[in-house]
A and B are shown apart, each in its own frame.
Chain A
Amino acid sequence: MATIARIDIDETGPVRAVQGFLKTLLARGGVDAVLTPAHLVPAGTVMPTLISDPEALERADPLSPAFPLNAARLVSRLTRGSTSGRHVAAVLRPCEIRAFIELVKLNQGGLDNVLLIGLDCPGAMTNADFRVFGLEGDPLERTREFLRAVAGGESRPGGRSLAGACRVCEHPAPEGADLILGLHGADLDRAIPVLGNTARGEGVLTRLGLPDAPGAPGRREALDALTARNTAARDAMFEATAARTASLAGLAEYLSGCVNCYNCRVACPVCYCKECVFLTDVFDYKPDQYLGWARKRGAIKLPADTVFFHLTRLAHMSTACVGCGQCSNACPNDVPVMELFRTVAERTQGAFGYQPGRSPDEAPPMTVFREDEFSEMTGEAH
């Protein structure tokens, strides 16, 4: 059984080749539709699109540097409580897969009717940058240019920086996917290796009848180099952020641009509450309350609860933070939310030895109670 096949690339380029692969998948892979980033018609940006007509795959472009939102929550909607027996394939970035697995653990989605196709992630641009870069000229050509620049090791592919989150991403390979499009180290003029990563992925791969590949030459090396570079950048970012937010005053200053629009929580793929507690009656203060505060302290900044909101979200979600950076992407005021979350998450996740999105079998730390945990807090080691 082939565990690695390949998608041959002709002169039309890698995006067309991937489109061809997705067509084969629709025809022979036992899926009823494919969720993939696609260019909108008649024009506009790239958005996750659920495609069941093979013709419509002409617009699919999962390799584009566009990352308008994290699609994990869309996949959760396609899978939660599904009993129809219909199957979907979803082409996702590694951070989207990790977020989806977190949602699955929280009963917000299911793995039964979805085939996860993960991308070796070349990184993405912020929405603001992609609007400038991606929307001029032939969109597929722009994607190809971007891929070439990334493969060539350019730090500013297409003249734009990658999004901050991508620059510090230490998980650029889709570990939880059924099938992996092995872009890292691949020669994008010749072929993309497809790796069967789970039993289900291997089964599907066999059915597709793609030509076998001897392996994914150069992938491991490229991945290691990328991971090393990003990890170094990440650690520098941790240090800088930790220094800026070391005191409550520092944190308040760090968040001073925040206008309590809560876009970051809307964009966050793992913030799964039906209604955020900050929108419920819990924070419905009476007018007296505000005036009381103002009287007691002399002055009170409004809207109140800015730091409280971010701290609350950190308390609730930092163990599940997958580092996709959509919070920063969504922020209208350039508050470096991603940096803060990742810096805190590094410690909260580390405290429990927990890596979000690694495996659906790993229970979220707050749902597990172990007597021997945190003996330094509970006092005695029993």
Chain B
Amino acid sequence: MRIGSARETYSQDEALFDSHTKRVWLCVLGTGLVLFPFFAGQYWLYLACLVAINVASATGLNILTGYTGQVSLGQAAFMGVGAYAVAVLEKQLGTPVLLNLLCAGGAAMLVGLVVGIPSLRVKGLYLAIATIAASFILHFIFANWTRVTGGTAGLTVPPATIFGLALDTEFRLYWLIMPFTVLMLAGAANLFRTRIGRAFIAIRDRDISAEVLGIPLLRYKLLSFGLSSFYAGVAGGLWAYFFRSVTPESFPLLMSIFFLAAIIVGGMGSILGGILGAVFMTLVPEVLKLMVGWLPNASEAMVFLAPVRTIVFGALIVGFLIFEPHGLAEIWRRIRRFFHLWPFRS
């Protein structure tokens, strides 16, 4: 049982990982992430990379929707901007990977700033519709600006190359994607210890009060849109390097709904929630498939149970929303609390 964590300085109080136990577990997680590619097969490495990309994008959306309270259904389209930016830069200019990814984030950020302008006048569902409209406009551009985007056929992306080494396998790509995601997560977690992050939270809780407190709404709402889009852009760039083919149909509206669902299921306004939500939404369908695979006569069972699997996945999401509206992050917190207080009951 932990009975408390004494903090003697402000820096200790503000620390992200404020206890020895947390730091130990962080080291375990870090070691696990480093060792993972050496033990996992290509399938699990593929899933790890996909989860990492989804976590990065979901975290971006969490900054905007979870922390600033601005509903957006344009995350997939912003990812598309990043993916196309990487594809064009890699194909036509052959610029370095890191620069391409930063440019992808920058391009998406610029688009996000423009899309975020209506956020000063409209909120909630109205803003969601505005972002859907923006996403349709972006899709139209992807499909019709043929000279740059390759039209409906899209673009094929050469593999990312670092120091002459082509990142063309999951094992190699893992070392690009995972560090980027970890860095972005650290950035997001730190953001909410700063004035900017706290301003976002104030806007979410009550925008009029935030303005009374001296927070310029337009600047901070746009900043939130910009940051969120930057995350989406970098995630889109990583996506482009990962799948190596970018088309207008790669980033449908359904993908934006996927990210929104991920942060709702995981827990809005919590970095851990974004991570858990993205992991849940990406891995649960695969886990359900694995479970069907364990059944006797799995091949026949797969034919009949395929629709059942989809229903179970949907039911799980609904179940979480009903029984744990604060998301997976809250379940995680309860589990931690249980162990903190063990052997006493909470």
Physical interaction between A and B: no
- Which residues in B have some Cβ–Cβ distance to A below 8 Å? none
- Which residues in A have some Cβ–Cβ distance to B below 8 Å? none
